[in-house]
C-alpha cells in the first residue's frame, strides 16, 4: 500500500540531510567529529546514530536518522486519530540536539519526520511533522530575529499564514506548564501535516529541514568566541535542567519512542551532558540571567522586533 507513496524519496532526502547537517556542524566546530553507530531493531527497521562531543564548540550533540516500522500504534501516535489504533506503521525522520559548551551559544533542536499508518483494505494514512527551535541562555536580540526570519523564509513559498501558524504552535508546544514558561525563543513546529498533497507537504519538509543550518550556523559564528565566566556556565547548567524536564516529561517524540520499544540510547541522546537543579533559585533583578525570562522567554513577534 505504501508503494503508492514516494517513501523512498523521503528516506533518501532524510539521509542526505543528516549528512549535510553533520558536515556543517563539524566544519564549524573545527575539532570534534561525529561517531556513527548503525543499528537495527530486531527486523523492524533501524537507523544511523551520530554523536559528537568535547569539541571546540559542541559539548554534546547528536544527529540521528531512523526508519522503523511495527504493529499496534501506541496512544502517543493515535490521540488525534483513534480510528487507526492498532494499525501497522512506519516512521522515519532526522532528529538532532546540539548542546554547546559556551553558555553564549544557544542549544538548538530540529526534527523532520514522516509517519505512515496502514491496514489491509484501507488507504494509507500519512502525515509529516517537524520544525526547529532555539534555547538560549544569554540571548541576543539580533540572533532571535535572524533565527525567526530564517523560519519565515522557509515557510513563505507555502503561504503567508504558514509561519505565524507554526511559530505559534512552536511557542505552545515547547512550553513547560509546570514552570509556566517556554523552553526557549521558539521557531517552527508542525505535526499531523497532510493538508496539502503528499508532494507539497514533502517540499515543505525539505524547506524546513534545510533551513535549520541556515538559521543556526550564523549564531554559532557570532557567539562561539565570547568569553564566559564560571558563574555563567553555572547558569547554563541550571537552565539545562528545564531542557531535561521538557524532554522527559512532555515531549511527544520521546514518549512515542519509549512506548514503541525504541532504541533508548538514541531517544535519550537529546539530554544535556551535565545539568544542575537548585532549590527555588532566582536570578538577581535586572541581571542578564533575569533578562532571559523577563524579556526573551516571552511571546514576542521576533520578525518585526526592532
Catalytic residues: 109
Joined grid coordinates for residue 187: 521557531
3-state secondary structure of 218: helix
Give the CA angle between residues 104, 169, 98 to the nearest 5°.
Answer: 30
Of 11, 113, 49, 75, the closest CA to residue 267 belongs to 49
Q: Measured between alpha carbons, how far is 148 from 50 in angstroms, rounded to an integer?
A: 27
Joined grid coordinates for residue 114: 514522516
Q: How many helices (H) and strands (E) does the chain have?
A: 9, 9
DSSP per-residue string spanning 234-299? HHHHHHHHHHHHHHHHT-HHHHHHHHTT--HHHHGGGS-SS----TT--PPTTSHHHHIIIIISS-
Amino acid at each position: 500500500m505504501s508503494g503508492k507513496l514516494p517513501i523512498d524519496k523521503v528516506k533518501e532526502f532524510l539521509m542526505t540531510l543528516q549528512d549535510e547537517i553533520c558536515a556543517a556542524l563539524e566544519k564549524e566546530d573545527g575539532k570534534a567529529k561525529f561517531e556513527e553507530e548503525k543499528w537495527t531493531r530486531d527486523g523492524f527497521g533501524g537507523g544511523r546514530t551520530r554523536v559528537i562531543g568535547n569539541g571546540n564548540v559542541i559539548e554534546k550533540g547528536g544527529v540521528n536518522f531512523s526508519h522503523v516500522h511495527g504493529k499496534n500504534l501506541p496512544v502517543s501516535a493515535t490521540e488525534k486519530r483513534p480510528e487507526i489504533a492498532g494499525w501497522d506503521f512506519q516512521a522515519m525522520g532526522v532528529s538532532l540536539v546540539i548542546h554547546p559548551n559556551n553558555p553564549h551559544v544557544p542549544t538548538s533542536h530540529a526534527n523532520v519526520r514522516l509517519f505512515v499508518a496502514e491496514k489491509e483494505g484501507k488507504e494509507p494514512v500519512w502525515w509529516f511533522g517537524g520544525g526547529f527551535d532555539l534555547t538560549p541562555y544569554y540571548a541576543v536580540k539580533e540572533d532571535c530575529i535572524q533565527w525567526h526570519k530564517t523560519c519565515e523564509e522557509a515557510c513563505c513559498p507555502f503561504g503567508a499564514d504558514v509561519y505565524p501558524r507554526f511559530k505559534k504552535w512552536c511557542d505552545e508546544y515547547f512550553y513547560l506548564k509546570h514552570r509556566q514558561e517556554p523552553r526557549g525563543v521558539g521557531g517552527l513546529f508542525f505535526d499531523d501535516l497532510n493538508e496539502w498533497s503528499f508532494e507539497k507537504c514533502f517540499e515543505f519538509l525539505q524547506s524546513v529541514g534545510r533551513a535549520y543550518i541556515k538559521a543556526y550556523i550564523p549564531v554559532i559564528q557570532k557567539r562561539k568566541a565570547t568569553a564566559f565566566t564560571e558563574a555563567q556556565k553555572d547558569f547554563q547548567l541550571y537552565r539545562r535542567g528545564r531542557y531535561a524536564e521538557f524532554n522527559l516529561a512532555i515531549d511527544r517524540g520521546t514518549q512515542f519512542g519509549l512506548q514503541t520499544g525504541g532504541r533508548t540510547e538514541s531517544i535519550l541522546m537529546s539530554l544535556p551532558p551535565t545539568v544542575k537543579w537548585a532549590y527555588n533559585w532566582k536570578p538577581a533583578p535586572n541581571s542578564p540571567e533575569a533578562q532571559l525570562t523577563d524579556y526573551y522567554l516571552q511571546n514576542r513577534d521576533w520578525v518585526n522586533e526592532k
